[in-house]
């Protein structure tokens, strides 16, 4: 209880010391802005595809352009605010753009106009980027430094907390309204879009009413130009023959420019040098979240009767952030050595990210499938008989296959001129004893399937379809061999899949959702098939019965094993987000606060480029194909090297 009272006391002091009215307006605008931004983005891809007629790749490209705009344009917004209009006026103008973009996008839900929809999205992307850096630095300007330095840092923590709250509410509101309410029998986009547009209009109006409460540094028109001229002069003088040696290359500009300007540029360059270690950090954070969605697809996501969608892994991030951010502000946590300063906290964040990649790599190893080398082959034997069958490959020792089960033999060196001889011995009773043999064609990197029917043996064409689906869906193939059924279908509630009546050699694999299916023929139930996530199945129809075999077993690991890496990753991301924001503000000159916040955001863009480059590079390296764990280990090494680089640059 005393600890709780102390925390309340600290909060009251924070409110009292800060210009609370201006920061309340700032926070209000932020939560409305993030609510609208993430709410509209949460359903944008589906909306573009289902209502505006775009293909899935085109819709994804438009969304990627929107995201890139939001990370490219902060520099432009910062320049306008720091050099020309000032922060408050710039925010007001950008708020008008936000309102216009959201209204255009909402209007497209009425007219289904692709031009209106895309124009609205692009305006949202442009304005969200322009406003980001300004909002960060405008809130920081409301504190007196150094007296209120601690309160300023708490403000940045609260700022990120509010941002996460807006993120969570935006995604939740959009999905709930769209899924629970229908307009004329279809998904209702107009209602959530209208609510979100109303939110940003209210937020902009509140900011306008409170604009006079803000403390604002006047824009300095020639700061950037003078800085560029100073750097050019320093480089030119340092390259001049006979120029005296200086401690810093900018000292060569002394005499031509003021000492205060030179010191400001030095501070800015020191911050930018430290920023050079952040892009890799952001690249690996982004990779982790993308990779975790794909990893979640391959894990068991069932919680009782509820099936967790893999996308919910990312949606849980803001919710977990809302819990962790206040915990990081507890006194005993703040006073620990790794959490005392911004620089030490950033190093701690990189350690957390490194540790997050350890369980991440272990989980990837556990779910990865072994790929058959090109010089090896495997034979799978499906025993549909009611008794055990002895089998011997190429004269080797006999092994026994249990009834209704599969046996996999993988010790074959591929030789195209030499098929494998298989000898079978079936003894179901004292009166039934039968020996059979067959030569099996094998191909390097393929699986050959043998099906033991009641009276004969059927050999399938070698296949590579044993590989799990790239999107982690289940794969099912129906093999009808001397079946009494003309047609077979799989159904679950309103879903029904009718298999084509093809010979077993031509039977294709079909992707299915993981759930229990009723197997029927002519509306008569003949069995049940439990199809699980990430598995590859053969359904063998023979005589008047069916038998289901797992060509490749599904992953049995539960998604709950992702919790440790998720906590470490979110913890690292929170610290990086808060402290890079705080570091960029506290270490930058007064005239360049917004500009350095924009530079800090721009490191995320560079991180996206690095991630794209690494992904393309890994796709070209054969040993890394189908081996996400190898890639994860490389990522862990990269974040460790990045931490070392950051420590050197301090």
The whole-number pLDDT of residue 28 equals 66
In sequence order, the β-bridge partners of residue 8 are none
User: Could you give the C-alpha distances from 543 to 119, 428, 434, 546, in angstroms and in order?
Assistant: 61, 18, 20, 8
Could you report the average pLDDT of every consecutive run of 10 residues in the chain (650 residues)?
A: 42 43 63 75 70 70 70 81 83 89 86 83 85 78 76 78 79 68 64 83 83 75 74 84 78 82 84 86 81 80 74 76 83 79 86 92 86 83 86 80 85 67 75 71 85 83 83 83 75 78 72 84 82 86 82 86 90 87 78 76 80 79 76 90 87
The whole-number pLDDT of residue 355 equals 93
User: Could you give the C-alpha distances from 136 to 217, 310, 596, in angstroms and in order?
Assistant: 14, 32, 10
Compute the distance between CA of residue 87 and CA of residue 592 in angstroms, rounded to an integer: 12
Q: Compute CA 292 distance to the chain's CA centroid, rounded to the nearest angstrom.
A: 6
3-class DSSP assignment, residue 518: strand
Spatial contact of 277 and 649, defined as CB atoms under 8 Å apart:
yes
Spatial contact of 558 and 300, defined as CB atoms under 8 Å apart:
yes
Question: For tokens 């309160």, what's the residue?
Answer: 151
Compute the distance between CA of residue 441 and CA of residue 519 in angstroms, rounded to an integer: 32
Compute the distance between CA of residue 378 and CA of residue 389 in angstroms, rounded to an integer: 19
The whole-number pLDDT of residue 19 equals 43
Burial class (CB within 10 angstroms; exposed 0-12, middle 13-18, buried 19+) of 358: middle
Q: Where do the domains of the chain lie, and which CATH numbers do they carry?
A: 10-219 (1.20.1250.20), 376-552 (no CATH)
Q: Is the peptide bond before 146 cis (omega within 30 degrees of 0)?
A: yes
- Cα-trace Rg, the chain: 31
From the CB of residue 248, how many other CB atoms can be counted at a distance below 10 Å?
Answer: 14
- β-pairing verdict for 536-543 and 474-483: parallel
Burial class (CB within 10 angstroms; exposed 0-12, middle 13-18, buried 19+) of 375: exposed
The whole-number pLDDT of residue 334 equals 76
Compute the distance between CA of residue 555 and CA of residue 144 in angstroms, rounded to an integer: 56
3-class DSSP assignment, residue 274: helix
Give the pair of three-digit tokens for residue 373.
């080398």
- β-pairing verdict for 515-521 and 524-531: antiparallel
Give the pair of three-digit tokens for residue 603.
């490191």
For residue 636, how many C-alpha atoms fall within 13 Å in the half-sphere facing its CB? 17
Residue 393 belongs to what H/E stretch? strand 389-393
The whole-number pLDDT of residue 431 equals 45
Compute the distance between CA of residue 401 and CA of residue 434 in angstroms, rounded to an integer: 15
Nearest to 58 by CA among 48, 50, 71: 48
- β-pairing verdict for 447-452 and 376-383: parallel
Spatial contact of 87 and 594, defined as CB atoms under 8 Å apart:
yes
Q: Which residues contact 395 (CB under 8 A, 6 or more apart)?
A: 421, 423
Spatial contact of 461 and 505, defined as CB atoms under 8 Å apart:
yes
Q: CA triplet 213, 219, 220: central angle to 5 degrees?
A: 155
The whole-number pLDDT of residue 429 equals 60
Spatial contact of 378 and 410, defined as CB atoms under 8 Å apart:
yes
Question: For tokens 């969608």, what's the residue?
Answer: 309
For residue 597, how many C-alpha atoms fall within 13 Å in the half-sphere facing its CB? 32
The whole-number pLDDT of residue 489 equals 82
pTM to 2 decimal places: 0.72
Q: Which residues contact 304 (CB under 8 A, 6 or more apart)?
A: none
3-class DSSP assignment, residue 497: strand
Burial class (CB within 10 angstroms; exposed 0-12, middle 13-18, buried 19+) of 216: middle
Spatial contact of 166 and 32, defined as CB atoms under 8 Å apart:
yes
Question: For tokens 């079946």, what's the residue?
Answer: 483
In sequence order, the β-bridge partners of residue 519 are 490, 527
Compute the distance between CA of residue 527 and CA of residue 546 in angstroms, rounded to an integer: 7
Q: How many residues does the chain have?
A: 650
Using a CB cutoff of 8 Å and minimum separation of 24, what contacts does 6-10 make?
A: 6/331, 7/330, 7/331, 10/154
The whole-number pLDDT of residue 54 equals 76
Give the pair of three-digit tokens for residue 46.
């589906």
DSSP H helical ranges for 549-589: 563-586
Compute the distance between CA of residue 248 and CA of residue 604 in angstroms, rounded to an integer: 29
The whole-number pLDDT of residue 141 equals 78
Q: What is the largest CA-CA distance in the chain?
A: 110
The whole-number pLDDT of residue 351 equals 92
From the CB of residue 334, how many other CB atoms can be counted at a distance below 10 Å?
Answer: 14
Compute the distance between CA of residue 30 and CA of residue 650 in angstroms, rounded to an integer: 32
Compute the distance between CA of residue 260 and CA of residue 200 in angstroms, rounded to an integer: 41
End-to-end Cα spacing for the chain: 40
Compute the distance between CA of residue 204 and CA of residue 30 in angstroms, rounded to an integer: 10
Compute the distance between CA of residue 573 and CA of residue 567 in angstroms, rounded to an integer: 10
In sequence order, the β-bridge partners of residue 412 are 377
Nearest to 193 by CA among 130, 90, 102: 102
From the CB of residue 225, how many other CB atoms can be counted at a distance below 10 Å?
Answer: 10
């Amino acid at each position: 209880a005393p600890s709780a009272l102390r925390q309340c006391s600290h909060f009251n002091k924070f409110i009292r010391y800060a210009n609370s009215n201006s920061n309340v307006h700032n926070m209000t605008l932020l939560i409305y802005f993030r609510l609208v931004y993430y709410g509209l983005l949460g359903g944008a891809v589906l909306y573009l595809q289902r209502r505006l007629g775009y293909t899935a790749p085109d819709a994804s490209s438009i969304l990627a352009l929107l995201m890139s705009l939001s990370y490219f344009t902060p520099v432009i917004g910062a320049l306008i605010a720091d050099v020309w209009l000032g922060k408050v006026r710039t925010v007001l103008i950008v708020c008008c753009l936000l309102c216009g973009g959201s209204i255009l996008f909402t209007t497209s839900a009425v007219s289904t106009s692709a031009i209106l929809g895309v124009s609205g999205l692009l305006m949202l992307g442009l304005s969200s980027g322009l406003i980001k850096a300004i909002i960060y630095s405008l809130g920081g300007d409301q504190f007196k430094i150094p007296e209120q330095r601690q309160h300023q840092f708490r403000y940045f923590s609260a700022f990120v907390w509010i941002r996460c709250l807006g993120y969570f509410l935006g995604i939740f509101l959009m999905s709930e309204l769209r899924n629970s309410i229908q307009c004329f029998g279809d998904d209702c986009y107009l209602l959530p879009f209208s609510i979100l547009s109303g939110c940003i209009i209210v937020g902009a109006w509140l900011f306008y009413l409170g604009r006079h409460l803000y403390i604002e540094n006047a824009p300095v028109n020639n700061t950037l130009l003078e800085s560029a001229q100073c750097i050019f002069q320093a480089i030119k003088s340092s390259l001049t023959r006979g120029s005296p040696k200086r401690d810093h290359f900018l000292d060569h500009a002394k005499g031509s420019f003021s000492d205060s300007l030179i010191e400001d540029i030095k501070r800015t360059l020191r911050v930018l040098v430290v920023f050079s270690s952040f892009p890799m950090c952001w690249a690996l954070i982004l990779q982790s979240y993308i990779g975790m969605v794909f990893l979640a697809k391959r894990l068991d996501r069932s919680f009782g009767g509820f099936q967790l969608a893999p996308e919910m892994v990312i949606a849980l991030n803001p919710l977990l952030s809302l819990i962790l951010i206040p915990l990081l502000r507890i006194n005993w946590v703040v006073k620990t050595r790794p959490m005392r300063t911004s620089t030490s906290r950033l190093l701690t964040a990189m350690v957390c990210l490194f540790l997050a990649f350890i369980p991440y790599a272990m989980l990837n190893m556990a779910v990865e499938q072994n790929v058959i080398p090109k010089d090896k082959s495997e034979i799978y034997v499906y025993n549909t008989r009611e008794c055990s069958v002895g089998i011997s490959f190429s004269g080797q020792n006999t092994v026994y296959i249990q009834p209704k089960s599969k046996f996999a033999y993988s010790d074959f060196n591929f030789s195209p001129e030499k098929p494998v001889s298989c000898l079978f011995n079936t003894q179901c009773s004292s009166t039934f004893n039968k020996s059979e043999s067959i030569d099996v064609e094998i191909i390097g990197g393929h699986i050959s399937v043998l099906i033991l029917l009641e009276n004969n043996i059927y050999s399938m064409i070698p296949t590579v379809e044993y590989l799990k689906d790239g999107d982690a869906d289940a794969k099912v193939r129906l093999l009808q061999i001397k079946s009494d059924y003309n047609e077979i279908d799989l159904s679950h509630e309103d879903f029904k899949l009718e298999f084509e009546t093809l010979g077993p050699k031509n039977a294709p694999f079909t992707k299915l959702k993981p759930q229990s299916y009723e197997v029927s023929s002519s509306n008569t139930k003949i069995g049940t098939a439990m199809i699980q996530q990430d598995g590859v199945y053969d359904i063998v129809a023979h005589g008047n019965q069916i038998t289901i075999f797992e060509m490749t077993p599904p992953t049995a690991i539960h998604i709950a094993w992702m919790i440790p890496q998720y906590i470490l990753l979110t913890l690292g991301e929170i610290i990086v987000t808060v402290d890079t924001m705080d570091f960029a503000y506290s270490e930058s000159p007064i005239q360049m606060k917004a500009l350095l916040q924009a530079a800090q955001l721009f490191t995320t863009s560079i991180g996206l480029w690095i991630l794209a480059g690494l992904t393309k590079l890994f796709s070209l390296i054969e040993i890394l194909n189908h081996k996400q764990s190898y890639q994860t280990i490389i990522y862990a090494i990269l974040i460790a090297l990045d931490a070392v680089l950051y420590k050197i640059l301090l």
